[in-house]
Amino acid sequence: MKYNVLSKPDFKKALLKKEIKTVCLNIKVPKHLKDFCKDKKYFIKTHGCQANYRDSEIYKGYFELLGLKETDILEKADFILINSCAVRQKAEEKVLSELGEIKQLKTKDKNKILILAGCMAQEEKNIRTIINSFNFVDLVLGTHDLNNLVRNLDLIITKNQQIIDVSSSSGCIYEKLPSKRDSKFKAFVNITYGCDKFCSYCIVPFLRGRQRSRSIESILKECKELEKSGYKEITLLGQNVTSYGKDLKDGKSFANLLDKVASLNIPRINFLTSHPFDFDYKIIDVIKKHKNIMRYMHLPIQSGCDSILKLMNRKYTFDEYASIIEETRKKIPDIRFSTDIIVGFPNETKKQNEESLKNIKKINFDGAFTFIYSPREGTTAAKIKDNVPRKEKTERFKKLTNILRESFSKSNQKYIGKTLSVLVDSISKTDKNFLSGYSHENLLINFKGNKDLIGSIVKVKVISEHIYFLKGEIVI
Ligand code: SAH
Ligand code: SF4
């Protein structure tokens, strides 16, 4: 069968800036679709970052409107949606191998409907791969097209079509999207979509489009609803939250927004991800002013070497980065910093790598995510011929990991004997007898306790540190 191509991706179009309209959706589900979905189930697998997890909550909202019920058992699902990530090659390979496994399920039961959504759908090369090698996928749905889900499912079910619907960019911010949140006490709230930064290695702006900030009123409205429903923690979400408002005409900045959200009666406010170039020192004062803003910031450095930072188009120097950390730690001594670091950027010399490691060591990071550079077709960095062998990159990665482990351990030791406020998340993944949660400083802590405590904030005394988490005891 041939795909009905309603729209397809084009990187050139993706980068065009558009006039942004806010659209309030009023979704109607036709009765015949509801009848079709009765007693049927859906399964969603999410890959990648928090933006994808939030999108999956919206897909779940749509599925629930259709009358479907969620299942966490893939084999039992009538509708399967894979929300994919394309930030590194490995993430894409994982999704393609997952699709291969689902093919067997579809061979046994042709009525199952398979949807590939998310960032991978936004790449032309993947559309070709789907058409040529994975043509059992029923719907390929782009990141700007999630509001077309009902219409597309209708075409699949009633007209027996296979569909590709991937717009290159969006001129719209959708409000009133349906949503089924994964947690009853922790919520993500989008504040910006897309990204305008164009770091030379990064594919995100091509997949998610130019930056679009939601209005401060819409964000506050959503936060107030969450406050009323008893949510304990809100994370303001964007690829670059610190540039919030730069595309709006009302002069509002991230510091304004954070101040307003933190003035609500919500025990914890968090935000993700900050960019050093757009960091406004007023943010430090807002954090200091509000006790409910978590004492934690994720501030990607990517490299500690100025010439590599320049090639990465990060637009700051190591000293500028270090000043933000120093100034924040001076005013808010209990704040913790985590970061992202890319190892093995094309042609990084031994000397540049040593400079980077030396500087990273100086920061004493409290947490970090580390990645080996992965060339992404379409980005500026992917055009550079890379002369660093894979083996050398692995060696550099190991050196960095050793520096960071030492730094995390030193940072964690400061908490031994201290009592922290912990929002209890779940039963620990590693030991069923333990509960697990995050402190106000975003430290992962495992401790013994009754599972009825999940969703509440408790006091936990830290007894030991284990590099990536702490162990503690509940304080009655
Ligand atoms: N907007 C966020 C997240 C971007 S993706 C930010 O700016 O921090 C998350 C992380 O993936 C990035 O911070 C970067 O460290 C890493 N990353 C992005 N592109 C990459 C690539 N091509 N290869 C390896 N790591 C990459
Ligand atoms: Fe990618 Fe840079 Fe934008 Fe982050 S800030 S999403 S790394 S382009």
Give the other-Cβ count within 10 Å of 54's Cβ.
20
**Residues 328 and 363 sit within 8 Å (Cβ to Cβ):** no
Place of tokens 């189930």: 41
Going from the Cα of 202 to the center of ligand 1, the distance in angstroms, rounded, reads 6
Q: What's the pLDDT score for residue 261?
A: 98
Q: What's the pLDDT score for residue 346?
A: 97
**β pairing state of 79-84 and 113-118:** parallel
**Residues 181 and 32 sit within 8 Å (Cβ to Cβ):** no
Q: What's the pLDDT score for residue 47?
A: 98
Residue having the nearest C-alpha atom to atom 5 of ligand 2 = 197
Closest atom of ligand 1 relative to the 379 alpha carbon: 22
Residue-level length of the chain: 476
- How far is the C-alpha of 101 from the C-alpha of 209, rounded, in Å? 31
What is the number of the ligand closest to the CA of 381?
1
**Residues 162 and 9 sit within 8 Å (Cβ to Cβ):** no
- How far is the C-alpha of 376 from the C-alpha of 370, rounded, in Å? 17
Across the chain, which has 476 residues, the per-10-residue mean pLDDT values are 90 87 90 97 97 97 97 97 97 96 94 97 96 96 94 96 92 92 98 96 95 96 98 98 93 95 98 98 98 98 98 98 98 98 96 98 97 96 95 97 96 97 95 94 96 97 94 93
Pocket residues for ligand 1 (CB within 6 Å)?
87-88, 201-202, 204, 239-240, 273, 275, 300, 302, 340, 342, 371, 373-374, 376
- Give φ, ψ of 369 to 5 degrees: -115, 130
Residue having the nearest C-alpha atom to atom 4 of ligand 2 = 239
Q: What's the pLDDT score for residue 377?
A: 95
Going from the Cα of 198 to the center of ligand 2, the distance in angstroms, rounded, reads 6
Closest atom of ligand 1 relative to the 203 alpha carbon: 19
The amino acid at residue 80 is I
**Omega before 273 cis (within 30°)?**
yes
**Residues 357 and 318 sit within 8 Å (Cβ to Cβ):** no
Q: What's the pLDDT score for residue 249?
A: 83
Q: What's the pLDDT score for residue 30?
A: 94
Q: What's the pLDDT score for residue 476?
A: 76
Q: What's the pLDDT score for residue 251?
A: 83
- Is residue 205 lining ligand 2, measured as CB closer than 6 Å? yes
The amino acid at residue 354 is E
Structure token digits, residue 40? 């049927």
Q: Is the alpha carbon torsion for 377, 380, 384, 386 positive or negative?
A: negative
Q: Cβ neighbours of residue 414 under 8 Å, at least 6 residues apart?
A: none
Closest atom of ligand 2 relative to the 196 alpha carbon: 3
- Ligand 1 pocket: which of 50, 311, 342, 348 to mutate (most atoms within 8 A of CB): 342
What DSSP line would sit under 328-380, residue for residue? HHHH-TT-EEEEEEEE--TT--HHHHHHHHHHHHHH--SEEEEEE----TTSS
> pTM for the full model?
0.96
Q: What's the pLDDT score for residue 375?
A: 97
